[in-house]
Amino acid sequence: MAESSDEIIKREIADNLGMSLNGFSLLVYPQSSNEDQKIFGEEGGLTFGLKGVPYGSCDAAWTKKEKWVNPYNGKTLNIKPYIALEGTDALSRGSSGNAQYQRFHHALGAVKAGIIGVYYLKKGNHKIQPDLYGMAYHASKIERGYYFIIDDLDELRDLINSLNNEDKLKKFIDKKLASMYKIYKEKFDKTYSDWEDFANKRSTIIEKNYVIKYSGRMKRNFTDGSQRAGHIAVGEMFLTKYFFPKKKIYYLWPKMTSEDREYLDKNKSNDKEWKILRNEPNVKILTIDDLSGVPVEVIKKMKEIKDDPLKGDTLKIFRENLKIIVEGLKKGKISII
């Protein structure tokens, strides 16, 4: 049986960096393990978060035996994490597009907890999406910790070796942040003429104090275990949030109703992706029922297709009515309640 992406990453890290480095111990659970899913603490666990919201499990962490108060639950621990890493072999598995965003929130939990989060994408046939560097850069600017996108274990080794030296660590951080911003900005400037062009190409409406990101998510995306839409939705949300760190983010799903949202709140309250979407600061999920001024016929059509996959006639109907909603929002004929 072929190794999973997680197994490949965990073995590579242990083999190349060892179980201890520069006085820091590597916490890793070889092969697939449910231990990763536990909250970081005295009994292990590689899931980090903030104020009761977990942001996905990581694959490894570098720790020391020191006192640390976990901001997820307020517990005082005798083990302190300095770096938490989420890794993937996605670049060798056909992930060239936004699928790379799906695991971004895993290491983000560590960043929100005030430590260094690393998203390690093992080099492969595809390149890392430059958007990821922009997301990590802006997350580093507004969250408690730092977020680094890395594809080279030698760079990770340099980071670990700098942890005990304040000047050395600051130099690494400053250089890495500048490098990530450069990669993101150069690609952005080549792809878009300006932010309005970005908005048109990325299903986004940009206003003075807020941004609306719209898509065709539906209730089934979060109730059908065969779908990965929850991960994708979280990735899209964080891309929008960190591209516009000073604006309020509205995530509009016009194929969903307020009843659908309430159903998910009640039945998926422990689902990690849904919990993130519903608790992320400065982000609000909107449905068709949260808009005022939408033509009655548009509401009727959207609700008729709300549980149908976006393909064929359903996709055509969705696009036609979405266009009316978007134009209405831009012109002020439709507003957020």
- Tens of pLDDT, residues 160-178: 999 999 999 999 999 999 9
CA angle 98, 36, 282 (to 5 degrees): 50
β-bridge pairing 80-88 and 60-64? antiparallel
Over 60: is that where the pLDDT of 2 sits? Answer: no
pLDDT tens, 310-324?
Answer: 999 999 999 999 999
Q: Which amino acid is at 139?
A: A
- Would you state the pLDDT for residue 139? 97
Shared domain check, 325 and 255: yes
Measure Cα distances from 242 to 65, 199, 233, 284 in Å.
33, 14, 14, 15
pLDDT band at 78 (very low <50, low <70, confident <90, very high): very high
Parent domain of 242: 195-336
Shared domain check, 139 and 19: yes
Residue among 310, 210, 229, 223 at smallest CA distance from 260: 223
Shared domain check, 10 and 43: yes
Shared domain check, 40 and 118: yes
Shared domain check, 209 and 162: no
Shared domain check, 221 and 156: no
pLDDT tens, 113-166?
Answer: 999 999 999 998 889 999 999 999 999 999 999 999 999 999 999 999 999 999
Over 50: is that where the pLDDT of 1 sits? Answer: no
Rounded percentage of the chain residues whose pLDDT exceeds 90: 82
CB of 106 within 8 A of CB of 86? yes
Over 70: is that where the pLDDT of 3 sits? Answer: no
Strands (E), the chain: 20-21, 24-28, 47-50, 53-57, 60-64, 68-69, 76-77, 80-88, 116-121, 147-150, 204-206, 210-214, 248-253, 283-287, 291-292, 335-336
- Would you state the pLDDT for residue 101? 86
Shared domain check, 42 and 20: yes
pLDDT tens, 223-255?
Answer: 876 556 788 899 999 999 999 999 999 999 999
Shared domain check, 212 and 93: no
Rounded percentage of the chain residues whose pLDDT exceeds 70: 95
Residue among 140, 144, 162, 123 at smallest CA distance from 8: 123
Shared domain check, 122 and 214: no
Over 50: is that where the pLDDT of 333 sits? Answer: yes
Q: Averaged over 68-75, what is the pLDDT?
A: 96
> What is the C-alpha separation between 40 and 55, in angstroms, rounded?
12
Number of domains in the chain: 2
- Of 245 and 4, the one with more pLDDT: 245
**Dihedral in degrees, nearest 10, Cα atoms 104, 109, 114, 116:** -40
- Would you state the pLDDT for residue 98? 72
**210-214 sheet: strands from edge to edge:** 204-206, 210-214, 248-253, 283-287
Last residue of a domain, one of 139, 168, 188: 188
- Of 23 and 94, the one with more pLDDT: 23
- Of 2 and 256, the one with more pLDDT: 256
Shared domain check, 172 and 69: yes
Over 60: is that where the pLDDT of 91 sits? Answer: yes
- Would you state the pLDDT for residue 227? 59
Q: Averaged over 278-304, what is the pLDDT?
A: 97
- Would you state the pLDDT for residue 217? 94
Over 50: is that where the pLDDT of 279 sits? Answer: yes
Last residue of a domain, one of 188, 208, 232: 188
Last residue of a domain, one of 165, 188, 211: 188
Burial of 76 (0-12, 13-18, 19+ CB in 10 A): exposed
pTM of the model: 0.92
Shared domain check, 184 and 199: no
Over 90: is that where the pLDDT of 35 sits? Answer: no
Structure tokens at 178: 């500048």
> What is the C-alpha separation between 27 and 115, in angstroms, rounded?
15
Q: What distance lies between CA 230 and its chain's CA centroid?
A: 11
Shared domain check, 262 and 180: no
CB of 158 within 8 A of CB of 131? no
